[in-house]
Copies of this chain bind each other. A is one copy, B any other.
């Protein structure tokens, strides 16, 4: 049961106010997102991350003229799900924040669509959040992902074999999906100390301990070893993430420039364009063209094979890609099509 929770900057002690203003600065200068006058929908699970996020945004709302809403999805997966929903309702009430709740039998949805439980839960949750965002005409769905989540994400991407800049981890701002992650450079430890300073009560999700999930094994086994070697490891990760965001902008602009006149029904890369690109650019342009053609992720080895064939100028050479896509080299140009 939460008694009085802060809803203004002035109600925070100097240390928690500092955390709050640091997050405001992260949103405006690193995520390059103006807060002034915005409408934010917080994805609220009831855990410490999103509950603290809600308090922080409430405290920043008055100063910035924002409107804050919350949305909670009850996945009906764990015995404590209803208690969590009740907790979330009470939290929003004490913060005077309007809350939308939805619920669905995720297990049934997963088996109907032949999906893993985690993936199914994420799908239905984000569908609900996006529906609510539109209904409220909110600018962003705001999530509680923090620096420890980011570190886990980077390690999982490293394990799977992710290229650059995707290796740098999840986006801080996803313009397509309208998702904003203001806590991405804040360690979980900082959020917990903030929550404790506010005497916030929160729910612990027992499934976070389940070692059947890769993420939880990375969290409990890998990250502690890395933090032991470098106590500032989370800072190293957020620096890497920042560089990746900057590089993403570089590559997006370059790709856009090369593809702006491309007809995506019959994508063609012209000889003179290809010759003006570095190999690093060509590989990313191939990937962008293939992605625009629909499902099927090209492997780095496929992309390198295409580039090697182009460099060797192997006329008539056809390179195949997942999703029935093919690339044909003819007179120094590359023609993309379906098989």
Contacts and interface: CB of A to CB of B under 8 A. Distances in A.
A226 B159 contact: yes
A236 interface: yes
A243 B159 contact: no
Contacts of A278: 249-250, 253-254
Contact of A217 (B214, B229, B230, B253): B229
Copies in the complex: 2
Given A222-B225, A243-B300, A161 B280 contact: no
Interface residues of A, number: 44
Interface in A143-170: 154, 158-161, 163-165, 167-168
B226 A280 contact: no
Given A226-B222, A240-B161, A283 B233 contact: no
A301 interface: yes
Given A158-B226, A225-B221, A226-B222, A163 B279 contact: no
B160 A236 contact: yes
A269 interface: no
A8 B138 CA distance: 71
A281 interface: yes
Interface string A240-264: 1011101101100110000000000
A177 to B, nearest CB: 24
A235 interface: yes
A264 to B, nearest CB: 24
A1 interface: no
B243 A229 contact: no
Given A159-B233, A164-B243, 8 more contacts: A161-B235, A161-B240, A164-B168, A164-B240, A225-B225, A243-B300, A250-B278, A253-B278
15 contacts: A158-B240, A159-B226, A159-B229, A159-B230, A159-B233, A163-B243, A164-B244, A225-B225, A239-B300, A242-B304, A246-B280, A249-B278, A249-B279, A250-B281, A254-B278
